[in-house]
């Protein structure tokens, strides 16, 4: 098995490294969600054992990814947020309260499906260590955890992501470049017939459109005919939904007739938006994924979370009205386009950066052949 290391992750290109320049708006300095000031990302990657599946013991191909929304105390200084569910075949937690009150009050954690309760429990512990008054002098906390099913490669029954792994992802979260591909929550994921994982991208709006930044982070684990910058890569390379040679099944023989998967997308922006505007932004993320072949299958859990760092919402305040400017509806269209572009490129990066992973029972999800991608795109452009 190809061991996943920082070196071979770095050796695989991102989209722009091979002249795939998606969209019309330019990316930020890091072309990552961390281009939004204050946002940090951390991973903890778990890889252990090989060979036959021994439920509860391994092999392990999973992890956890943390998106920290700002540098302060997110419980005491909440951020406006919204969550959109495109197809609800998933086990994410915390989304209902985001939409009820319009605020985010914890970091966003991503992991695998059966680990959601344990990761949420660890996130609650993390929040209590920083805010010991939770549940005693003040209200409780709403942990936000998203997930994908990595059971094709991982011993998902083992629920191997523990408290110490969650704390590692949170404490190591940093700004700047973001590790992508088969890392953190993306270690065991699959996408459009190849290895999926974590990908990120960003867009900058020009001064006449507000000088805002939009950043997206995608955890890809979905089905579809892969399209990259308009080129029919999946068709040319023989990976199409429901074709005999696709090997698309995500959960083994029990689900051999069911194609599916899931996707989690987190969108950050410094544009002054509240819940309603952020919901509109979150919905546009679906369009970015659809441009690369996503269609939202029956067994797909498709969840999108958007937040703004422009305003904070105090946990406790004597004010009856919180004031703050917001982008008007008429000015939202550039942000919509920037979101579509950033999400599309983030998802493409998740595949390009992902290394081949051999998981339980010898199941293999190959990293896409970069040379074949380049050739296909060149042919499409001619």
Query: What does the DSSP assignment read for 55-100?
Result: TTTB-EEEEEEEEE--SS-TTTEEEEEEEEEEEE-S--BSHHHHHH
Catalytic residue among 202, 302, 308, 350: 302
CA distance 346 to 352: 10
198: Cα separation from own chain's centroid: 6
Burial 201-214 (b: 16+ CB within 10 A, else e): bbbbbeeeeeebbb
**Own/partner long-range contacts of 254-258 (Cβ < 8 Å, ≥24 apart):** 255/299, 258/298, 258/299
Q: How far is CA 3 from CA 105, 137, 325, 350, in A?
A: 36, 48, 49, 17
Give me the half-sphere count of Cα atoms (radius 13 Å) on the Cβ side of residue 330. 0
Annotated catalytic residue 300 = yes
Task: Calculate what percentage of the chain has a pLDDT beyond 90.
Answer: 85
pLDDT value of residue 320: 64
Q: Report how far residue 3's alpha carbon sits from residue 206's, in angstroms, rounded to the nearest whole number.
A: 42
Distance CA 122, CA 133 (A): 17
pLDDT mean over 323-333? 88
Instruction: Please tell me which residue in 201, 300, 308, 350 is annotated as part of the active site.
Output: 300
Based on the residue annotation, tell me whether 302 is a catalytic residue of this protein. Answer: yes
The active-site residue out of 262, 297, 308, 350 is 262
pLDDT average, residue stretch 6-23: 85
The alpha carbon of 60 is separated from its chain's Cα centroid by a whole number of angstroms, namely 20
Tens digit of pLDDT for each residue in 36-78?
A: 999 999 999 999 999 999 999 999 999 999 999 999 999 999 9
Quote the CA–CA distance of 82 and 75 in Å, as a whole number.
16
Instruction: Note the pLDDT of residue 298.
Output: 87
Q: Is 223 a catalytic residue?
A: no
E strand or H helix at 266: strand 260-269
As a whole number, the mean pLDDT across the chain is 92
Residue 15 pLDDT exceeds 80: yes
Which uninterrupted H or E stretch holds 299?
strand 299-308
Range 115-121 average pLDDT: 98
Between CA 54 and CA 62 the distance in angstroms is 15
């Amino acid at each position: 098995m190809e061991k996943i290391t920082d070196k071979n992750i770095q050796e695989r290109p991102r989209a722009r490294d091979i002249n795939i320049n998606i969209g019309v708006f330019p990316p930020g300095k890091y072309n990552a969600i961390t281009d939004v000031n204050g946002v940090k990302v951390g991973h903890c990657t778990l890889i252990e054992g090989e060979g036959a599946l021994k439920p509860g013991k391994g092999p392990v191909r999973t992890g956890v990814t943390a998106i920290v929304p700002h540098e302060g105390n997110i419980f005491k200084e909440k951020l406006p947020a919204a969550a959109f569910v495109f197809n609800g075949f998933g086990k994410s937690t915390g989304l209902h309260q985001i939409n009820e009150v319009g605020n985010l009050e914890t970091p966003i954690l991503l992991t695998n499906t059966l680990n959601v309760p344990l990761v949420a429990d660890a996130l609650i512990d993390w929040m209590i260590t920083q805010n010991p008054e939770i549940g005693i002098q003040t209200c409780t906390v709403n942990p936000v955890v998203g997930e994908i099913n990595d059971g094709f490669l991982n011993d998902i029954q083992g629920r191997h992501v523990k408290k110490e792994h969650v704390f590692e992802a949170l404490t190591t979260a940093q700004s700047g470049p973001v590790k992508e591909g088969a890392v953190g929550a993306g270690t065991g994921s699959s996408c459009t017939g190849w290895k999926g994982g974590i990908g990120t991208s960003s867009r900058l709006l020009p001064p006449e459109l507000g000088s805002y930044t939009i950043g997206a982070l995608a955890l890809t684990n979905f089905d579809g005919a892969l399209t990259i910058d308009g080129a029919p890569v999946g068709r040319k390379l023989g990976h199409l939904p429901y074709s005999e040679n696709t090997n698309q099944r995500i959960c083994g023989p029990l689900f051999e007739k069911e194609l599916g998967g899931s996707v989690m997308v987190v969108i950050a922006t410094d544009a002054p938006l509240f819940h309603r505007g952020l919901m509109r932004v979150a919905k546009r993320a679906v369009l970015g994924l659809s441009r690369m072949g996503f269609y939202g299958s029956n067994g797909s859990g498709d969840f999108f979370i958007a937040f703004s760092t422009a305003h904070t919402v105090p946990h406790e305040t004597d004010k009856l009205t919180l004031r703050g400017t917001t982008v008007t509806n008429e000015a939202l269209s550039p942000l919509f386009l920037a979101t579509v572009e950033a999400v599309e490129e983030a998802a493409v990066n998740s595949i390009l950066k992902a290394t081949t992973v051999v998981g339980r029972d010898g199941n293999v999800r190959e990293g896409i052949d970069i040379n074949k991608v380049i050739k296909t795109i060149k042919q499409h452009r001619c």
